[in-house]
Amino acid sequence: MNDNTSKEARIRQQAYLVWLEEGRPEGRDKEHWEQAERIVERMDELAKEDESGGATAGAPLGPGQA
């Protein structure tokens, strides 16, 4: 599995979790996918920062950082 496929699978899983959290609404697939993309991107950024000795992955997010 290449990196793009792996990332897509992570986004798909996150979108599913968002959908569940919101009570399984119909017709909001695109919104959930876009939210999941933002979440996965932020998680990747935090992981890179952690690897490079920057902010820790467990650090709280400030306003507008989610």
Instruction: Tokens for 56, please give them.
Output: 């820790």
CA-CA distance, 51 to 4, in Å (whole number)?
Answer: 20
- What is d(CA 43, CA 40) in angstroms, rounded to the nearest whole number? 5
Residue 53: per-residue pLDDT: 80
What is the rounded CA–CA span in Å between residue 46 and residue 15?
A: 19
pLDDT at 62: 57
Question: What confidence tens digit (pLDDT) does each residue in 15-63 have?
Answer: 999 999 999 999 999 999 999 999 999 999 999 998 888 655 555 655 5
